[in-house]
Amino acid sequence: MPKTPNLPAPRIGILAAGTSAQTDTELVSSWAASLASAHTRRNFAMTATRFLEALSVGIRKATVEDVREALARITEGRTDATAQQYVLRAKSLLSYGHKLGYMPFNAGVTIKVKPDQSRAGLAKRIISEVDVKLLIRGARSQRDRVLIETLYAGGLRISELVALTWADVIEREVHGADVLQLSVTGKGGRTRQVLLPGAVSRSLRALRGDCHSREGGNGANDPIFASRTGARLTERAVNYMIKRTAEHAGIEAPVSPHWLRHAHGSHALDRGATLPQVQATLGHANVATTSAYLHARPDTSSGLKLDPAIFR
């Protein structure tokens, strides 16, 4: 019988050449640290932690089946968009670890990402101008009203809104009108400039004046939207306030802060704004993302050209 070749024994416990991480948790920390913004790092690390908890074994020993089962656990009951993000983040983590030699193979490479069906439901998440007005009028405090106005008028993400300080507010004169300009830091740390309408600019100035008189002044680095203690509002607090205000206003749709961003994009296009204008305001990296608002609520369709007599 032919002799079996002597294969070298596998080396156990030797650190990967490309990383000093010795545990899965340390790998997650290294991976998260490579990401651009603090908001992204926080969300990605949270997803990775859930993924590790769902894995029946460590990443180094995980098979494709292990990864698939773990992803099924953490995406159960989630929306298509959220589930897609979880899968993409897990695949990114596994690819990162394999690239640095932390594990011998990438168990996520064959995992398919289901297409995001959220765009199909985008039209359902765009509330009307009437509902936006009801939401603003339903605010229970001056701060809440100005927050909703700024969120909608600026087309802001909730993370961008709560990060705003008074140093981000610039006085401008545009076409003879005194308006405010916001310096907004978005995804990837990219900064964009957003002009607020005159009415919203006046509301924001009044809010600053009210804060100044009540608190004896506010510094440039103080948050625009603060809690009663003066601390920056959390995203969770804003989400709760929006939902509570929507219920108080009698709006049946499950409104969230991001719905106001969708509403801004759709309403602005309906009223004649160009795609590049909306893209720049919302901070979309690709105009194709902005164009989804055109397809979500078209003002024409070939079906409207059919002979109505056929249906009589």
Which CATH number covers residue 97? Answer: 1.10.150
Terminal-residue alpha carbon distance, the chain: 87
**Around 230, how many Cα atoms within 13 Å sit in the side-chain half-sphere?**
10
Select from 88, 116, 144 the last residue of a domain. 116
The DSSP letter of residue 112 is: P
Assess whether pLDDT exceeds 90 at residue 200: yes
How many other CB atoms are there within 10 angstroms of residue 178's CB atom? 12
Instruction: State the pLDDT at residue 4.
Output: 44
Assess whether 293 carries a catalytic annotation.
yes
- Are residues 97 and 232 located together in one domain of the fold? no
Select from 116, 148, 169 the last residue of a domain. 116
Instruction: Choose the catalytic residue: 89, 91, 157, 264.
Output: 157
Assess whether 86 carries a catalytic annotation.
no
Mean pLDDT of 21-28: 92
Structural domain contains residue 19: no
- Are residues 132 and 191 located together in one domain of the fold? yes
Q: How many domains does the chain have?
A: 2
**Contact call for residues 13 and 56 (beta carbons, < 8 A):** no
Instruction: Choose the catalytic residue: 98, 261, 262, 267.
Output: 261
How many other CB atoms are there within 10 angstroms of residue 286's CB atom? 8
Assess whether pLDDT exceeds 60 at residue 9: no
Does the pTM of the predicted model rise above 0.85?
no
- Are residues 67 and 150 located together in one domain of the fold? no
Dihedral of alpha carbons 244, 248, 253, 255, sign: negative
Structural domain contains residue 1: no
- Are residues 178 and 256 located together in one domain of the fold? yes
- Are residues 247 and 272 located together in one domain of the fold? yes
Assess whether 175 carries a catalytic annotation.
no
**Contact call for residues 151 and 196 (beta carbons, < 8 A):** no
Assess whether 187 carries a catalytic annotation.
yes
Assess whether 143 carries a catalytic annotation.
no
Mean pLDDT of 192-216: 81
- Are residues 173 and 258 located together in one domain of the fold? yes
Assess whether pLDDT exceeds 70 at residue 165: yes
Which CATH number covers residue 243? Answer: 1.10.443.10
Instruction: State the pLDDT at residue 2.
Output: 46
- Are residues 133 and 276 located together in one domain of the fold? yes
- Are residues 174 and 59 located together in one domain of the fold? no
Structural domain contains residue 3: no
Query: Rounded CA gap, 90 and 70, in Å?
Result: 10
Burial class (CB in 10 A: 0-12, 13-18, 19+), 44: buried
Residues 70-113: tens digit of each pLDDT: 999 999 888 777 888 888 889 999 999 998 999 998 988 888 87
Instruction: State the pLDDT at residue 292.
Output: 76
Domain assignment of residue 262, given as a range: 123-296
**Contact call for residues 98 and 272 (beta carbons, < 8 A):** no
Instruction: Choose the catalytic residue: 187, 192, 202, 232.
Output: 187
